[in-house]
Amino acid sequence: MKPTLLVLAAGMGSRYGGLKQMDGLGPNGETIIDYSIYDAVQAGFGKVVYIVREYFLEQFKEAVARKYSNVKCTDGSPLEFVFVTQELDKIPTRFLPVNPERQKPWGTAHAMLMAADVIKEPFTVINGDDFYGRESFRIAGDWCRAHAGSKGVFGIVGFELDHTLSESGGVSRGICHYDAMQRLTDVIEHLNIVKGDDGAVTGDNSATGEHVVLRGSDLCSMNMWCFTPDYFEKSAVLFEDFLELNGRELKKEFYIPYAVDCMIRCGDARCDVLSTPAHWFGVTYKEDRPGVVEKFAQLAREGVYPSPLYQ
């Protein structure tokens, strides 16, 4: 069984000032998604599903046809690509029409629902603009293969907080809490996380407003999840509940952590916390770009990745 990679690439990149999913950051113009797909293929994934917006769908299709036409899976078969789109009106008909003043998409968990008809196997979800590292894809791929045929079993790839901090300012991270069996109990969002000159890591607990000391070894969510395909049916029910309460709101969004939390709390699912040693990095603002470019250049110099990444 070859798992599927689901890439969340519908973000509009408003803070970054453009389509950062298409931005060439590697030594030969490689995008962050290029590296994610390379790592996923090496980890045994067999299909990539892109979630994009209609207005740049053709751009993505052209880039995929140009870059990945010769990419083979580990068994020698061609890597499969599927495209689905997330739009505001792709919701159950009884909730239409959408409030005409709403501009924001319905969130990451809604985006995932767009892929319900094209994914029938365990799969891993990632952000299109985050670098997760090859170890993370190996861990995710192994988990997916181990849970072929399972139901109600999910996973979250947790990164050590120290491996996700920014040198240019505070960040927001969801800190994972889990029980003795390494099963997720909740994800608590912390804001303004920074490492001080004394090495202490601090942040603001969004639930309590308290300024707290965190451990660099705390596992945090960078939106890399593993799911069995029954997730879609469970999530669709929750999305309708969400729309009943928020369907006329302008900014409320249906997020993956919220959906998973609901399923855990009602006993519909469990979520394994998987720890990766990899270092995360990504581009949030334009000012982040030079540092990411240098990181990819260093990985190429060290031979971690071939350069160019695709021939």
pLDDT in tens, 83-140: 999 999 999 999 999 999 998 889 999 999 999 999 999 999 999 889 999 999 999 9
pLDDT in tens, 36-46: 999 999 999 99
Q: How far is CA 53 from CA 48, 60, 90, 262, in A?
A: 16, 10, 11, 27
Which range among 10-19, 100-109, 164-173 shows the weakest confidence by mean pLDDT? 10-19
How many Cβ atoms are within 10 Å of 259's Cβ, its own excluded?
Answer: 27
pLDDT of amino acid 63: 82
95 contacts: CB under 8 Å, gap ≥ 6? 240, 243, 247
Give the tokens for residue 33: 């998604």
pLDDT at 94: 94
Report yes or no: 98 and 91 within 8 Å, Cβ to Cβ.
yes
What pTM, to 2 d.p., does this model score? 0.93
Amino acid residing at 51: I
Q: What is the pLDDT of residues 37-74, one digit of tens each?
A: 999 999 999 999 999 989 888 888 888 888 898 899 99
Tokens standing for residue 149: 């045929």
Task: Supply the pLDDT for residue 55.
Answer: 86
Is the four-CA dihedral 115, 140, 229, 109 of positive or negative sign? negative
Are 35 and 68 contacting, i.e. CB atoms less than 8 angstroms apart?
no
**Angle separating helix axes 32-42 and 134-146, nearest 10 degrees:** 50
d(CA 107, CA 100): 17
Q: Are 163 and 279 in contact (CB under 8 A)?
A: yes
CB crowding 121-144: b at 16 or more within 10 Å, else e: bbbbbbbbbbbbbbebbbbbbebb
Domains and CATH numbers, the chain: 4-301 (3.90.550.10)
The runs of H, that is alpha helices, within 43-172 are: 57-67, 108-113, 134-146
Residue that has been written with the tokens 């293929």 in this structure: 41
**Nearest of 21, 34, 237 to residue 116 by alpha carbon:** 237
- Using DSSP, state whether 245 is helix, strand or coil: helix
C-alpha span between 108 and 220 (Å, rounded): 17
Please, what is the average pLDDT of the chain? 91
Pairwise CA distance, residues 222 & 31, whole Å: 18
pLDDT, mean of residues 205-211: 90
Which of the four pLDDT bands, split at 50, 70 and 90, describes residue 285?
low
**Spatial distance between the Cα atoms of 38 and 73, rounded to a whole number of angstroms:** 10
DSSP run (H or E) holding 38: helix 32-42
